[in-house]
A and B are shown apart, each in its own frame.
Chain A
Amino acid sequence: MRSLTRHTLFWPLLALALLLVVNVIATPSFFSIRIQDGHLYGSLIDILRNGAPTLLIALGMTLVIATRGIDLSVGAIVAIAGAVTCTYLAGSPDEGSVSRAIVAMSLAVGVCVLLGLWNGFLIAVLGIQPIIATLVLMTAGRGLAMLITDGQIITVNNALFKKVGAGFVLGLPVAILIAMAVFAVTAVLTRRTALGMLIESVGINPEASRLAGVRARTITWTVYVFVAFCAGIAGVMIASNTSAADANNAGLFIELDAILAVVIGGTSLAGGRFSLTGTLIGAMFIQTLATTIPTIGIPSETNYLFKAVVVILVCLLQSPKARAALSVRRQSPLLTKGSAA
């Protein structure tokens, strides 16, 4: 039992399971999945689909956080990705064509990769602290997205584009398939190659890694490009879901959800060891929470309040002092502070 509770994924899984139980009690049909027109529908499918953009970004964020970094600009990048896709499509003569959609989406993701290069340059080459460096794009990025869309919400009509966020393939939502594919690729890239170990070593001790010949700068740069790439896909997905680019609201606060998902999954903000599976569970937890709140009759505007509670719980669980208090074997005497002086 003790070794079970010590497993890194024990607490995230327990929390997710508890939430699911609450849902089943509130809506007994929660787990039911029905097939309609060959497509799967149900609450669980909804959670997975709506959680896909957060999961995508959280995957990239996991690697960034593992290197001791953080990326606050992902929400702005989401907005830019949507803006680029929709503006390009709306401005082209054949708005509905397949080839235009492919060009538009590739262009959007390409722009995001460039933005990731910019973040990585500030952090890995110029040595600016990640929180400051990405704050630049977090604030400027939304402005950039507004500039691209000219301040308008741009709606488009393109079947292929619409499919990315709202369509189905083989009965499953495309968004889920994309997120799972990125998850699988990331897992293979980090755990079947040496990339994961090198990222961790840079996160734990950058100078020792450099002296051991690890190209710490390249690795740092790469993870910021990767998270921007993920945010780009997520941005296309979010815009596709409504077939519209809303520079103001697309991906708003998604960076916080992504960071929260990573932390719930057991990856420490201090860098080092990371868990992609943990992040997957964390992202699902957050989305389930957002779904649960209206289900049990609480107005969904209070969502942030509940997230705050989760943050506090996670912080408590990760703090060494709280852990010690949980597994206390002896009553420790109160600290007599100042008696030494």
Chain B
Amino acid sequence: MTQMSAAPAQATRTAEPVVEMSGVSVSFPGVKALQSVGLTLRPGEVHALMGENGAGKSTLIKALTGVYSIDEGTIIVGGEPRTFSGPAESQAAGISTVYQEINLCTNLTVAENMLLGREPRSFGRIDTREMNRRAGSVLARLGVDIEPRSLLGSHPIAIQQLVAIARAVDIDAELLILDEPTSSLDADEVVKLFEVMRTLRDEGVAIVFVSHFLDQVFEISDRMTVLRNGRLVGEYVTADTTQLQLVQAMIGRELETLEKIERQAEQNTVRATGTPLMEVLDLGRKGSVEAVDLQVFEGEVIGVAGLLGSGRTELARLLFGADAADHGDIQLRARRTKLRTPRQAIDQKIAFSSENRRSEGVIGDLSIADNMVLALQASRGWLRPLPAKTKERLVTQYIDALDIRPTDPHALMRNLSGGNQQKVLLARWLITEPELLILDEPTRGIDIGAKAQIQQLVADLAQQGVSVVFISAELEEVLRLSDRLVVMRDRRKIDERSNDDVSVADVLEIIAGEVRDDA
């Protein structure tokens, strides 16, 4: 019944909603995640779910798919009240989800991942040939050109994301939920994804789209539901709504902060003179980054731009000693230094916030407080525990300053939303009072409100004399904040210039210019 042709799909547009949630409440120990929230999803529509971090978007999705059980409210699926006790049940009912963090097995092949749990069988054994054929045809439909028999782990995150979507598409869902599907995709991959989404929508599939990219939301969605602090703000028809209205609904206050940051960054004209805080020469690592020269001065924000896989993350890891460089020199405060482990870098007052929050940052089963003081405690050594009073003072101070929710320092880190986790991780590094802060995609997958707060923080830190290396896929953000701009491509630094009237188009040209030269 899910493989509808285009014509009846049009007819069902005004028909019964696929899903109708009303009065749904969910709470975790110490956190009221959702309070009486409703969501109506109609067939053949792309429905954007909007809200800041911690607004309850992910929770609402997990309540629908049965990952969390709801405390109150009703969920009507296909006209019948349902309560799913797990993703398997909701999947059987035609609800397919691609989560923000990819939940696939990197040690299996692409095809195995796509058909996991639904493998075609012959004579009781898995029919590998049929499996690869079926996976291949779905990938072809999505225009993803990869070998179904290759290991998932051998592909970059962006491709893994598309595989996750291909998996969901293959289930023949009536409702497809895409939670932040575009956060790690490049522009043309987003275009490709949108094509697929439109095809599915025209087939009558209801699609939930969660994203923090406003332009994308306005481009693809038909309707929007906005949440704030676990409560419903309202449902809007996209065509009748402006971006400003949406933003105000989401954060409930004016959006002057971003403009203020820009003014502040402009005033912060840095004296790129004297001895640099850090100077690297010919720094590189085989298979990761080719020889990079870079100078970082005190109180300077260096923006690193580049496409996914351009070597921007790898460069950050070398500067922090997360990977050891195999050639090149690092000078810190005019003294030659070796950075072979993160610990050595931390001892030199360098901090690094990884782009992979979940696998390289969050300690899920420890509290907010323990997560915050981890780096400081590690550098003090286990024999000198942070005094309880100092710890409490630091933790409350940063929960306040970064507006972290929940405010309870004993709440477990894994119960926090992505944006709040990111803020805790930033606090972890700020507590160590770094002189050089390396931020790799600090605003990825988090909402405008938190994004603005983090950008403001970077601008403030730079004014206080902290040097920042700021890496982001969002060029606007990089340009807004940085004093100097480094452009990476194909694991090399291809350009460096001071950020005077550089526009997004200029940066794109730098990246693209190289493409033409190569071709």
Chain A residues in contact with chain B, CB under 8 A? 192-195, 197-198, 200-201, 204-205, 207-215, 272-273, 330, 332-333, 335-337, 339-341
Please name all residues of chain A whose beta carbon is closer than 8 Å to the beta carbon of B359 when the two chains form the complex. Answer: 205, 207-208
List 13 extra interface pairs beyond A193-B383, A208-B361, CB under 8 A.
Answer: A193-B382, A194-B384, A201-B366, A208-B360, A210-B342, A215-B378, A272-B365, A330-B83, A335-B86, A335-B88, A339-B92, A340-B118, A341-B118
Please name all residues of chain A whose beta carbon is closer than 8 Å to the beta carbon of B374 when the two chains form the complex. Answer: 197, 201, 209, 212, 214
Please name all residues of chain A whose beta carbon is closer than 8 Å to the beta carbon of B381 when the two chains form the complex. Answer: 194
Task: For A201, give its contact among B354, B370, B379 (CB under 8 Å).
Answer: B370
Give A166 to B343 CA distance when docked, in angstroms. Answer: 48
Q: Is the CB of B92 within 8 A of A209?
A: no
Q: Is the CB of A332 within 8 A of B366?
A: no
Q: Is the CB of B386 within 8 A of A208?
A: no
Task: For A211, give its contact among B342, B366, B382, B384 (CB under 8 Å).
Answer: B342
Please name all residues of chain B whose beta carbon is closer than 8 Å to the beta carbon of A337 when the two chains form the complex. Answer: 88, 92
Please name all residues of chain B whose beta carbon is closer than 8 Å to the beta carbon of A211 when the two chains form the complex. Answer: 320, 322, 342, 352, 354, 360-361
Please name all residues of chain B whose beta carbon is closer than 8 Å to the beta carbon of A210 when the two chains form the complex. Answer: 341-342
CB distance from B28 to the nearest CB of A (A): 14
Q: Is the CB of B378 within 8 A of A212?
A: yes
Please name all residues of chain A whose beta carbon is closer than 8 Å to the beta carbon of B91 when the two chains form the complex. Answer: 340
Please name all residues of chain B whose beta carbon is closer than 8 Å to the beta carbon of A201 when the two chains form the complex. Answer: 363, 366, 370, 374
CB distance from A56 to the nearest CB of B (A): 22
* Nearest A residue (CB) for B345: A213
Q: Is the CB of B363 within 8 A of A208?
A: yes
* Nearest A residue (CB) for B432: A213
**Which of A198, A339, A340 counts the most B-chain CB atoms under 10 A from its CB?**
A340
Give A14 to B341 CA distance when docked, in angstroms. Answer: 47
Known: A201-B370, A340-B171. A194 touches B354 (CB 8 A): no
Please name all residues of chain A whose beta carbon is closer than 8 Å to the beta carbon of B85 when the two chains form the complex. Answer: 332-333
Is B89 in the interface zone, CB < 8 Å from A?
yes
Give A214 to B354 CA distance when docked, in angstroms. Answer: 15
Give A197 to B413 CA distance when docked, in angstroms. Answer: 14
Is B380 in the interface zone, CB < 8 Å from A?
yes
Please name all residues of chain B whose beta carbon is closer than 8 Å to the beta carbon of A273 when the two chains form the complex. Answer: 365
Q: Is the CB of A207 within 8 A of B118?
A: no
Give A210 to B386 CA distance when docked, in angstroms. Answer: 19
* Nearest B residue (CB) for A272: B365
Give A233 to B385 CA distance when docked, in angstroms. Answer: 29
CB distance from B340 to the nearest CB of A (A): 12
CB distance from B45 to the nearest CB of A (A): 23
Known: A330-B83, A340-B171. A213 touches B385 (CB 8 A): no
Q: Is the CB of B385 within 8 A of A194?
A: yes
Give A332 to B346 CA distance when docked, in angstroms. Answer: 51
Query: Scoring B residues 274 to 293 as 1 if CB is less than 8 Å from chain A, else 0, what string do you get?
Result: 00000000000000000000
CB distance from A75 to the nearest CB of B (A): 29
Q: Is the CB of A212 within 8 A of B375?
A: yes
Give A193 to B377 CA distance when docked, in angstroms. Answer: 10
CB distance from A262 to the nearest CB of B (A): 17
CB distance from A337 to the nearest CB of B (A): 7
Please name all residues of chain A whose beta carbon is closer than 8 Å to the beta carbon of B365 when the two chains form the complex. Answer: 200, 204, 272-273
Please name all residues of chain B whose beta carbon is closer than 8 Å to the beta carbon of A207 when the two chains form the complex. Answer: 359-360
Please name all residues of chain A whose beta carbon is closer than 8 Å to the beta carbon of B366 when the two chains form the complex. Answer: 197, 200-201, 204
* Nearest B residue (CB) for A200: B366
Known: A205-B364, A211-B360, A214-B374. A194 touches B382 (CB 8 A): yes
Please name all residues of chain A whose beta carbon is closer than 8 Å to the beta carbon of B88 when the two chains form the complex. Answer: 335, 337
**Which of A194, A209, A330, A335 counts the most B-chain CB atoms under 10 A from its CB?**
A194
CB distance from B3 to the nearest CB of A (A): 14
Q: Is the CB of B83 within 8 A of A212?
A: no
Please name all residues of chain A whose beta carbon is closer than 8 Å to the beta carbon of B377 when the two chains form the complex. Answer: 194, 197-198
**Which of A200, A205, A211, A215 counts the most B-chain CB atoms under 10 A from its CB?**
A211
Q: Is the CB of B92 within 8 A of A195?
A: no
Known: A211-B352, A340-B91. A204 touches B363 (CB 8 A): yes
CB distance from B456 to the nearest CB of A (A): 24
**Which of B88, B89, B322, B386 counts the most A-chain CB atoms under 10 A from its CB?**
B89
Please report which residues of chain B, range 72-103, place their CB below 8 angstroms from some CB of chain A when the two chains form the complex.
83, 85-86, 88-89, 91-92
Give A109 to B234 CA distance when docked, in angstroms. Answer: 69
Please name all residues of chain A whose beta carbon is closer than 8 Å to the beta carbon of B363 when the two chains form the complex. Answer: 200-201, 204-205, 208-209
Give A195 to B383 CA distance when docked, in angstroms. Answer: 7
Please name all residues of chain A whose beta carbon is closer than 8 Å to the beta carbon of B83 when the two chains form the complex. Answer: 330, 332
Give A330 to B82 CA distance when docked, in angstroms. Answer: 12
Give A337 to B88 CA distance when docked, in angstroms. Answer: 8
Q: Is the CB of A213 within 8 A of B346?
A: yes
Subset of 22 A-B contacts with CB under 8 Å? A194-B381, A194-B383, A194-B386, A195-B382, A200-B365, A201-B366, A201-B370, A204-B364, A208-B359, A208-B363, A209-B363, A211-B320, A211-B354, A211-B360, A212-B342, A212-B428, A213-B346, A273-B365, A332-B83, A332-B85, A336-B89, A339-B92
